[in-house]
Chains A and B, each alone.
Chain A
Amino acid sequence: MSVTRLQYPAGFFDGVSAQRQQVEVTIAAAGLLITKPDASTVWWPSEEIEVTDRGQPVRLCRKGRPPQELIINEAGFLEAARLGRESGESSLAAKIVALLAILVALVWSLYQFVLPAIGERIAASVPVELEERFGRAVADRFAPPDSRIEDPRAQEAVEEIGRLLRAELGRTRYQFRFYIADDPMVNAFAAPGGHVVIFRGLIKMTRSPHELAAVMAHEMQHVRMRHVTRALLRTLGIRALMSFIAGDTSGLVFDVAALAGDMHFRRNDEEHADREAMRLIQRAGFDDRAMVKIYRRMARETADAPGPLQYLSTHPEMESRVETIEKMARGGAPRALLPGRKWPPL
């Protein structure tokens, strides 16, 4: 059995002067006794000792002000003084890998399960008026009022289709408003609370009112099922998580436009909106083949047109969605929609 060494030479700062003193440290039962060259002593009680560095050299400080400091250059001191072990880096890599795996699993499950669940809860309790106001702000950002087309013919056509669809939509808390944005992009989007924006480029691309009705039905179903509000809350949640990871709270100072900009629906939401839109079209007696046609054309024509706001980027996986609705289409004789009108109305 080896005898534990109890005396160690050390460097000492007394907290009064910046001068380093060479001292002798004696390990005692209740603390450390520091003996200076002039034989005067300083007593450090155990409860006031803090190990600030376990490496070489070992550093201790005495809590409280002014801070006194001890620097001991010899291995084995920490264990002899029952202050723990000197740091070894051998197992650190393994520990890091293990912790990393736990973290990835944790973040993934947060992202996949916890955030959506929280978003759902909050979405359910957001009052309609708030959704309505927020939706207006989003619509105003993406399609500012002064860039909207005030063409009465086009507006009338859109309103009429909207009215017919609304009648078959069933009970919903929302009032729908339709805006036509003067923009060549092939796109449409539903802001929360029933504000539906349709871009000029999309209307120009439709070959019949039935085709426009198909896209509008899809957006209206998004509104009815609160996909937009949920997606916004989800995006906000992810932002909060990201800024938490990055330690940067400025990300929480959210801006409506920026928020809606990197928002995207989940594929589930899209397919759900497609199916419900198809049913709505069929209930309203519109041409369900037209929906397949416009979807197919959008998939083809926007596939090679990059742009942050193109229909494809906000509406992913177009091809497989076309197949899904194609299976649902019955292709019966449709009712007349806006008969005797020139189409497209722009």
Chain B
Amino acid sequence: MPYCTQCGSEMAEAAICPSCQSPEPVPAPPSSSRYELKFVGSGAPMLWIYLVTFLLSILTLGIYYFWGRTRIRRYILSMTELDGERFAWHGTGGELLIGWLKALVVLAILIGQYLLFMLGLGTATGEVMGTIILYAGFMMLMPVALVGAWRYRFSRTSYRGLRFAFRGRVMPFFKLYVAGSLLTIITFGIYFPVFASKIQRFFCRHTFYGTARFDYDGKDSALVGPWLLALLLFIPTLGLSLLWFTMRQANYQWSYSSFAGARFRPSYTFSSYFFLIFTNLLLVVFTLGIGYPWAEVRGLRYMCSRLPLEGVIDFASIQQRAADATATGEEMSDMFDADAMDIGLGF
């Protein structure tokens, strides 16, 4: 019996066996490449999940809603790929339900005091007092809920078998958020792009993928000019200048954001985005809402396809951090770590 001349395994005729002929390819030295972000899902499976969710939600008096949301999220992430590999969602309906219950308690307290003021005093001052507390309460809860949602969402998302993690703490973000909101109000809105840039920095610098991290090195004041222009043109353009600014901001913020050393190369444009929104609107309206999943798919395709990365991501060197892999108990005990944001986002 002939043998492979290199490894000695049995062969039909003496030669070098296939596994020895093509040994494990030596990884090419890292050269700059392009990593495409893609959404490959389609409308029909999403519509199916939505309809099942809706039906079961009615039959279970709303309880199933959280599990349905989880299914949608799992579908969306499993249909999103970066460089040919898919993302995965590991959250559960139970976790969403708990987050919702936490939010409900807070919401009940806020609305309860409003009703007490309104009906109890029955006066205009009472109603004003109640309304002020209501809105101030919402404003203070916003940053807490945002951090909670980010922490929850990233910790439940994986890619190439590794988890993401958002490690921002509530207090620093709370300070950033309240200070930013107040400055925005005091400056009649001019401060807003600076505030948004600071949020993006906080968001990126605390978001991890295993041992790799996101980063943002944009200039906070860079978009003040475009923002003023958008405000000035708000009335003559019937508000479209805001849409233009949103795209300008997305382009700027993402092009100064990076992931594991590779830069985002966004190419959002006002005209393409406007076209997307307009056609999506027609799609939803003329199908009486049935077309909504297709509109969502088009939106996701647009957002992903125009956000490729360029540079070198050395996946072989990125490792799971032990803390992210075992943090379940610790994170669940965190009062703020819940996805309350989800409730307002529609489905």
Contact = CB atoms under 8 A, between A and B. Distances in A.
B88 interface: yes
Contact of B122 (A110, A136, A249, A250): A136
A68 B24 contact: no
A59 B318 CA distance: 21
A207 interface: no
A53 B86 contact: yes
A20 interface: yes
Interface stretch (A94-102, A165-173, A307-315, A323-331): A94-102
A84 interface: no
Contact of A65 (B107, B316, B328, B343): B328
B136 to A, nearest CB: 15
B48 A96 contact: yes
B194 interface: no
A65 B88 contact: no
Contacts of A16: 161, 319-320
A106 interface: yes
A340 interface: no
B258 interface: no
Interface residues of A, number: 45
Contacts of B162: 13, 15, 17-18, 66
Contacts of A103: 51, 54-55
Interface string B44-67: 110110011011011000100100
B188 interface: no
Contacts of B90: 61, 67
A65 B325 contact: yes
A65 B210 contact: no
A158 to B, nearest CB: 24
A59 B78 contact: yes
A137 B117 CA distance: 12
A246 interface: yes
Contacts of A247: 65, 69, 343, 345-347
A100 B111 contact: no
A63 to B, nearest CB: 8
A103 B319 CA distance: 47
Nearest to B78: A53
Nearest to B211: A18
A53 B160 CA distance: 14
B344 interface: yes
A19 interface: yes
Interface string A137-166: 100000000000000000000000000000
Contacts of A41: none
Interface string B148-160: 0000000000111
Interface in B7-39: 24
A237 to B, nearest CB: 14
A190 to B, nearest CB: 19
Interface in B65-95: 65, 69, 74, 78, 85-86, 88, 90
Interface string A287-320: 0000000000000000000000000000000000
A100 B55 CA distance: 9
Contact of A244 (B51, B57, B69, B209): B57
B344 A106 contact: no
A258 interface: no
B118 interface: yes
A4 interface: no
A65 B90 CA distance: 10
Contacts of A253: 111
Nearest to A145: B124
A244 B44 CA distance: 22
A17 B78 CA distance: 20
A87 B58 CA distance: 27
A52 B88 contact: yes
Nearest to B65: A247
The interface centre, meaning the residue of A14, A18, A19, A244 with most chain B CB atoms within 10 A of its CB, is A18
B281 interface: no
Contacts of B107: 249
A252 B312 CA distance: 49
B344 to A, nearest CB: 6
Contact of B346 (A68, A100, A248): A248
A66 B210 CA distance: 11
Contact of B158 (A67, A136, A137, A245): A67
Contacts of B58: 106-107, 110
Contact of A52 (B47, B51, B74, B85): B74
A154 B53 CA distance: 58
B290 interface: yes
Contacts of A249: 107, 343-344
Contact of B344 (A68, A93, A95, A248): A248
A133 interface: yes
Q: What 3 A-B pairs come out closest when comparing CB atoms?
A: A13-B161, A247-B347, A18-B315
Interface of B: 24, 44-45, 47-48, 51-52, 54-55, 57-58, 62, 65, 69, 74, 78, 85-86, 88, 90, 107, 111, 118-119, 122, 158-163, 209-210, 290, 315-316, 318-320, 325-326, 328, 343-347
17 contacts: A15-B161, A17-B318, A66-B163, A66-B320, A67-B88, A69-B158, A92-B44, A95-B48, A100-B51, A130-B119, A136-B122, A244-B57, A247-B69, A247-B347, A248-B344, A249-B343, A253-B111
Given A99-B52, A137-B118, 17 more contacts: A15-B162, A18-B161, A18-B209, A19-B315, A20-B315, A52-B74, A52-B78, A59-B78, A59-B86, A66-B161, A69-B161, A103-B51, A106-B58, A110-B58, A133-B122, A137-B122, A249-B344
